[in-house]
């Protein structure tokens, strides 16, 4: 066995603990510096992303001939339909129109606003409770609330809208004189349960995640430096390591005393 073979054996667990103990101060300093840098970035430089959450409930009226199980299955199907409909371009256009009409945005912001509604709004459903959760993200809490409320109200407005005669502009009515909805199956099935409110926990968790990642990076850098120093050091620190490298037995050794005297 030669020195090259010895070096290729790598590092043992006992050597690793010894290196950590010997370089603990360096590990601590680098980790603290990275943690501070991550904290400054998370709390001072990076803009927080605010999340507003609004909820709606889906409820289908039970039919005379249908059982409760049938009505529940029908409501579940409607929930999935509304989940897809909320991100539909028709709903997004209506939501953009309403936000512009309410003077929250200008006409020049229309395209950017539609892009925000498509990108920053997400929908999730819970079939066990037949609810829809609309989440909107933004760099300001006010805008997050506006986006969540607008997209949900626009969905209700679209599905509850009455059919209009394209020639006369009048609302179409049935034989009983009642107005006819554009989407009969979906009309009056979606109700706003709660308007948007801020989810402050998401803001805090994102900042803590950034700091945690910075700490991990600090540890990785520290251990990387330690391993590079260890693997590039070809000196022998003990009689045993010399014997192991050259496969020989040392019969005796001379120790250096204090002051260089033997």
Write the DSSP assignment of the chain as a string of letters: --HHHHHHT---HHHHHHHHHHTHHHHHHHHHHHHHHHHHIIIIISPP-EEEEEEEEE-PPPPSS--HHHHHHHHHHHHHHHHHHTTSHHHHHHHHHHHHHTTSS-GGGHHHHHHHHHHSEEEEEETTTTEEEEEEEESSHHHHHHHHHHHHHHHHHHHTPBPB-TTT-PBPB-TTS-B-BSSTTTTT-EEEEEEEEE-HHHHHHHHHHHHHHHHHHHHHHHHHHHHHHHHH-----SHHHHHHHHT-------PPPGGG--
Mean pLDDT of 196-202: 70
* pLDDT surpasses 80 at 174: no
Which residue has better confidence, 255 or 261?
A: 255
* Residues in the chain, overall count: 262
Give 182's contacts (C-beta < 8 A, 6+ positions apart).
Answer: 158, 159, 161, 162, 163
| Top-confidence residue, 18 or 3 | 18
Over its C-alpha atoms, the chain yields an Rg (Å, rounded) of 34
Q: Beta strand pairing status for 190-198 and 121-126?
A: unpaired
The pLDDT value given to residue 100: 92
> Is the pLDDT at 68 greater than 70, yes or no?
no
**pLDDT, tens digit, for every residue of 7-48?**
445 567 777 788 888 889 999 999 999 999 999 988 888 878
Nearest to 221 by CA among 5, 12, 32: 32
**49 vs 11: which has the higher pLDDT:** 49
pTM for the structure as a whole:
0.62
pLDDT for 188 equals 86
- Give the per-residue pLDDT at 111: 92
Band the pLDDT of 55: cuts 50, 70, 90.
Answer: very high
CA distance 148 to 138: 10
Query: Cα–Cα distance between 191 and 194 in angstroms, integer?
Result: 9
- What is the Cα–Cα distance from 184 to 3, expressed in whole angstroms? 84
Kindly state the average pLDDT of the residues 71-90: 84
pLDDT mean over 171-190: 81
pLDDT at 6 over 60: no
- Strands 121-126 and 131-138, by their bridges, are antiparallel
Q: Write out the two tokens for 159.
A: 């599905």
Position 175 confidence tier, pLDDT thresholds 50, 70, 90:
confident
pLDDT score for 76: 80
If one compares 66 and 249, the residue with the highest pLDDT of the two is 249
Q: How many C-beta atoms lie closer than 10 Å to residue 128's C-beta?
A: 7
190-198 and 50-58 strand pairing = antiparallel
Mean pLDDT of 62-90: 77
pLDDT bracket for residue 258 (50, 70, 90): low
Tell me how crowded residue 33 is: count the other CB atoms within 10 A of its CB.
13
Q: Taking 70 as the threshold, does the pLDDT of residue 262 lie above it?
A: no
Taking CA atoms, 148 is separated from 24, 90, 115, in Å, by 49, 16, 14
Q: At residue 191, does pLDDT exceed 50?
A: yes
- pLDDT 10s digits, 116-159: 999 999 999 876 778 899 999 988 888 999 999 999 999 999 98
Is the Cβ–Cβ distance between 72 and 59 less than 8 Å? no
Contact 147, 138 (CB under 8 A): yes
Q: pLDDT per residue over 105-117, tens digit each? A: 888 889 999 999 9
Instruction: Assess whether pLDDT exceeds 90 at residue 95.
Output: yes
The predicted model gives 67-81 an average pLDDT of: 76
């Amino acid at each position: 066995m030669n020195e090259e073979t010895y070096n290729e054996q790598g590092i043992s667990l006992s050597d690793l603990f010894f290196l950590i103990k010997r370089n603990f101060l360096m590990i601590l300093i680098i980790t603290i510096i990275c943690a501070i840098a991550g904290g400054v970035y998370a709390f001072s430089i990076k803009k927080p992303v605010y999340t507003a959450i609004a909820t709606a409930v889906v409820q289908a009226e039970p039919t005379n001939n249908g059982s409760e199980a049938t009505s529940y299955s029908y409501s579940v199907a409607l929930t999935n339909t509304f989940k897809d409909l909320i991100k539909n371009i028709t709903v997004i256009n209506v939501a953009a129109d309403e936000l512009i009409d309410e003077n929250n945005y200008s006409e020049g912001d229309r395209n950017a606003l539609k892009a925000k509604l498509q990108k920053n709004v997400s929908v999730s459903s819970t079939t066990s409770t037949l609810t829809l959760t609309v989440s909107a993200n933004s760099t300001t809490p006010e805008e997050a609330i506006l986006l969540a409320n607008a997209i949900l109200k626009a969905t209700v407005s679209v599905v509850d809208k009455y059919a209009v005669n394209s020639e006369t502009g009048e609302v179409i009515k049935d034989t009983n004189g009642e107005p006819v909805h554009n989407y009969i199956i979906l009309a009056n099935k979606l109700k706003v349960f709660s308007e948007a409110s801020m989810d402050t926990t998401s803001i805090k968790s994102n900042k803590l995640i950034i700091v945690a990642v910075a700490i991990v990076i600090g540890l990785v850098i520290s251990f990387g430096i330690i391993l590079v120093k260890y693997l590039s050091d070809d000196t022998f620190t003990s009689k045993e390591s010399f014997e192991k490298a050259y496969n020989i037995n040392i019969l005796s050794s001379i120790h250096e005393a204090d002051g260089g005297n033997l």
